[in-house]
């Protein structure tokens, strides 16, 4: 009788979902070795740190700094052993648009926003440069590793990339995806390593484009070739890292996709799968400025990997509702009795950008934005959601059978991936430009720059 009632209840639920037109919630993402004994390490990963001009003004004001943007979620980041984010722009001392150097006297090298050297999208001229103190603040705010490969990496030219690396080295903050002019792969690999609790994790960042800004010295690692194919250099680097006995896990952090679209495109899916097949443990993407689904993908050799297609904005000055949603993804790695490190759990804490005075990142419990939380839970598995008050219990299901757990022959195609999100809709037209929360300014013309072919469309206003 109880089973009959359960069937009736399920049928009623199905009818209700069908009647409302709402898609079913994405299924949980659990891992085969979730409850295996062994040493563990937790990685926290967020999306874009995009400091528009209004944010820079706040951060450089008296008694403020960049890390204060996320001070209310700082305990979540501090709970992890390694913290990752994407710094979406240069932090180049004394470099203006076009990569021109301005000599900065020692007495003027203070935390000021001058609209010339340091800029953040005024008049819709979206060429960025952050005060170099932003890098030290990011480290002080709990970050361990940052991607510098993104579509704004070359906004201050070759010199800007060099000066940004100066800021990272001065702050002793690890980064990946860019190098100085003249540096070789031997002197500075595209990847970098982090060390925590006896685990060594390799990080590799790449970007789909530099927004047409020239990169004559090849200082930014690009994910894709001229015809949209994954560049062999990216996959070769992953293979080399995965083969090293001193590295426990490899994480790829691509800047990819289409802005403001909440489903991954074919290019993202292909690179995500190729990266895990090449040896990556996880792929954590950025650039769309909105959330996209997760995917658990099983490689041909039986390894389970996680793809976070887009973490959204962690902090930005964008005000459209979907661009104010972000994630703190929490990924657990475990070293088993065989000394191999495997993915054992993944959860997320939804975040929300409160804008105004001051701008702050907060956990979205539903009180902050019920609309955004509902949208997040339609894209991502509700069962994998975590709360700041309960971070010690990552989502797991011990003993859950996994159909594709057995290793596959080398010549067998990987199993069909499990996308944790609704079926992608037909490609939509690009969304209108994002507007910032300021009065409408005079529109300045952007200086013409040499163009380069890009595969993924770029919203010209971001």
Sign of the CA dihedral with 410 first, then 208, 26, and 33 last: positive
Q: How far is CA 414 from CA 233, 344, 381, in A?
A: 22, 20, 23
Tell me, yes or no, whether 394 lies in a domain. Answer: yes
Tell me, yes or no, whether 451 lies in a domain. Answer: no
∠77-251-86 over CA atoms, to 5°? 55
What pLDDT is recorded for position 437?
Answer: 40
What pLDDT is recorded for position 34?
Answer: 96
Report d(CA 361, CA 210) in Å as an integer: 27
| Higher pLDDT, residue 264 or 4 | 264
pLDDT tens column, 40-52: 999 999 999 999 9
pLDDT tens column, 58-113: 999 999 999 999 999 999 999 999 999 999 999 999 999 889 998 876 555 578 88
**Residue 10: pLDDT band with limits 50, 70, 90:** very low
Tell me, yes or no, whether 165 lies in a domain. Answer: yes
Tell me, yes or no, whether 349 lies in a domain. Answer: yes
Sign of the CA dihedral with 295 first, then 349, 433, and 114 last: negative
pLDDT at 416 over 70: no
> In angstroms, how far apart are the furthest CA atoms of the chain?
83
Number of domains in the chain: 1
Report d(CA 227, CA 246) in Å as an integer: 35
pLDDT tens column, 441-456: 333 333 333 333 232 3
Which residues pair with residue 253 across a beta bridge? 205
What pLDDT is recorded for position 112?
Answer: 85
Tell me, yes or no, whether 398 lies in a domain. Answer: yes
Looking at residues 416-425, what average pLDDT do you find? 47
What does the block give as tokens for 52?
């528009």
| Residue 253 belongs to domain spanning | 25-420
pLDDT tens column, 320-354: 999 999 999 999 999 999 999 999 999 999 999 99
What pLDDT is recorded for position 113?
Answer: 86
| Higher pLDDT, residue 165 or 6 | 165
Q: How far is CA 390 from CA 28, 34, 39, in A?
A: 18, 18, 20
Taking the CA atoms of residue 276, residue 280, residue 281 and residue 282 in that order, the dihedral angle to the nearest 10 degrees is: -80
Tell me, yes or no, whether 425 lies in a domain. Answer: no
Report d(CA 458, CA 151) in Å as an integer: 9
Give the chain's mean pLDDT. Answer: 85
What does the block give as tokens for 70?
């996320």
Report d(CA 317, CA 336) in Å as an integer: 43
Report d(CA 271, CA 253) in Å as an integer: 11
What single DSSP character describes residue 117?
S
**Residues 130 and 163 sit within 8 Å (Cβ to Cβ):** no
Contacts of 5 (CB under 8 A, 6+ apart): none
For the ranges 265-269, 278-282, 456-460, the lowest mean pLDDT is seen at 456-460
Tell me, yes or no, whether 230 lies in a domain. Answer: yes
pLDDT at 414 over 80: no
Looking at residues 129-138, what average pLDDT do you find? 97
What pLDDT is recorded for position 418?
Answer: 54
What pLDDT is recorded for position 128?
Answer: 96
pLDDT tens column, 214-261: 999 999 999 999 999 999 999 999 999 999 999 999 999 999 999 999
**Residues 454 and 212 sit within 8 Å (Cβ to Cβ):** yes
Looking at residues 407-428, what average pLDDT do you find? 43
| Higher pLDDT, residue 124 or 25 | 25
What pLDDT is recorded for position 115?
Answer: 81
CATH number for position 283: 3.60.21.10
What pLDDT is recorded for position 125?
Answer: 82
Tell me, yes or no, whether 428 lies in a domain. Answer: no
| Higher pLDDT, residue 13 or 48 | 48
pLDDT tens column, 278-301: 999 999 999 999 999 999 999 999
What pLDDT is recorded for position 21?
Answer: 65
**Residues 288 and 261 sit within 8 Å (Cβ to Cβ):** yes
């Amino acid at each position: 009788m109880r089973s009959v009632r359960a069937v009736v209840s399920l049928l009623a639920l199905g009818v209700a979902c069908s009647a409302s037109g709402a898609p079913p919630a994405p299924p949980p993402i659990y891992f085969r070795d979730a409850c295996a004994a062994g040493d563990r390490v937790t990685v926290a990963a967020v999306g874009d740190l995009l400091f528009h001009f209004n944010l820079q003004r706040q951060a450089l004001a008296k008694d403020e700094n960049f890390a204060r943007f996320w001070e209310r979620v700082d305990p979540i980041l501090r709970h992890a052993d390694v913290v990752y984010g994407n710094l979406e722009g240069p932090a180049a001392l004394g470099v203006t648009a076009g990569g021109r150097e301005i000599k900065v006297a020692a007495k003027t090298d203070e935390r000021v926003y001058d609209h010339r050297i340091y800029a953040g999208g005024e008049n819709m001229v979206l060429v960025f440069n952050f005060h170099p103190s932003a890098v030290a603040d990011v480290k002080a705010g709990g970050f361990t590793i940052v991607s510098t490969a993104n579509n704004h990496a070359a906004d201050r030219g070759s010199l800007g990339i060099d000066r940004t690396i100066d800021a990272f080295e001065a702050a002793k903050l690890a980064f990946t995806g860019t190098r100085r002019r003249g540096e070789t792969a031997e002197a500075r690999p595209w990847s970098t390593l982090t060390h925590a609790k006896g685990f060594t994790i390799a990080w590799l960042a790449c970007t789909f484009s530099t927004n047409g800004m020239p990169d004559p010295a090849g200082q930014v690692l690009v994910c894709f070739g001229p015809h949209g194919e994954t560049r062999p250099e990216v996959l070769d680097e992953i293979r080399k890292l995965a083969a090293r006995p001193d590295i426990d896990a490899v994480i790829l952090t691509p800047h990819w996709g289409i802005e403001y679209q909440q489903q991954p495109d074919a290019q993202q899916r292909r690179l995500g799968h190729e990266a895990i097949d090449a040896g990556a443990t996880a792929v954590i993407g950025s650039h769309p400025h909105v959330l996209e689904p997760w995917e658990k993908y099983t490689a041909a050799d039986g390894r389970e990997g996680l793809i976070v297609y887009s973490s959204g904005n962690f902090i930005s000055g964008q005000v459209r509702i979907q661009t104010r949603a972000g994630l703190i993804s929490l990924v657990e790695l475990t070293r088993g009795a065989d000394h191999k490190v495997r993915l054992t759990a993944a959860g997320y804490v939804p975040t929300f950008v409160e804008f105004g005075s001051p701008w702050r990142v907060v956990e979205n419990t539903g009180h902050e934005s019920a609309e955004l939380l509902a949208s997040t839970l339609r894209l991502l598995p509700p069962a994998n959601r975590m709360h700041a008050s309960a971070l010690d219990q990552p989502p797991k299901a011990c003993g859950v059978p996994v159909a594709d757990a057995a290793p596959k022959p080398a010549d067998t195609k990987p199993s069909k991936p499990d996308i944790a999100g609704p079926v992608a809709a037909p490609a939509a037209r690009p969304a209108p430009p994002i507007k910032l929360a300021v009065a409408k300014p005079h529109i300045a013309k952007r200086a013409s720059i040499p163009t380069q072919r890009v595969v993924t469309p770029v919203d010209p206003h971001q």
